[in-house]
Amino acid sequence: MSYVSAHHGRFERRGDTWLYTDQASTNGTYVNGQLVTSVDLHAGDVLRIGDPHGNSVGLNFRCPSEAALPHGAGMIELGMELLWKTGSNTIGRDPSSTIHLPGVVVSWSHARIDTVVEGRVLVDLSSTNGTFVGGARASGSYLLQEGDVIQIGPFKLVYQAGDCAP
C-alpha cells in the first residue's frame, strides 16, 4: 500500500491513556476526520491513513475500559467460585466459556483447565496470542500449582488450588 509510510505512526500507552503520534508520514493520519500529528485516543475513534485520491486504511480504536475487566484490574482468582465444574473449564472470548475474558487479544476458545487425578491441568487451545504461566509460554499440558499466575492477554488469573481440589 503506497499510501502507508514504512513507519507511519506510533501507539504509546501512558497510564490509562493511549497516544497516537504520526511519524512525519507522507500522507498523514486522520482521527475522526481531522488531520493530526499527535492525539490521545478514545474508544470508538477512527484512524484513517490514506492518500489524496481516496485510497485509505481505516482503524477503529477499541480499548476495554477498566470497569469491563473482572475485579476491576484484570486480576482473577481461580478458585472454587470459577472452577466449579469437574472435567473441563473453558477460557475464552466466547460468552458461553466457563471463564469469559472479553479482550480483543483473547481467542474465542483460548484455553481449557481439565481436572485430572493429580489436580488441574492448563491446556492452550492453539490460541493466536498464547497462554503464559509465570511469564513463560505454555505449550502442551501444564499441571497448575498453588499461586501460579496465568496470563491471557491483559488478564491475569491466579490459581488457588486449596479452593478447588478435584
User: In this predicted model, what pLDDT tens digit does every residue of 8-28 receive, in sequence order?
Assistant: 888 887 777 788 899 888 888
Contact 130, 124 (CB under 8 A): yes
Q: How far apart are CA 115 and CA 88, in angstroms?
A: 6
34: β partners: 31
Which of these, 150, 153, 154, lies nearest to 82 by C-alpha position? 150
Structure pTM? 0.55
Name, in order, each residue with C-beta under 8 angstroms of 136's C-beta and a sequence gap of 6 or more: none
The model's pLDDT over 126-142, given as tens digits with 9 standing for 90+, comes to 998 899 998 889 988 99
Q: How far is CA 154 from the centre of its chain?
A: 5
Whether the pLDDT of residue 56 is over 80: the answer is no
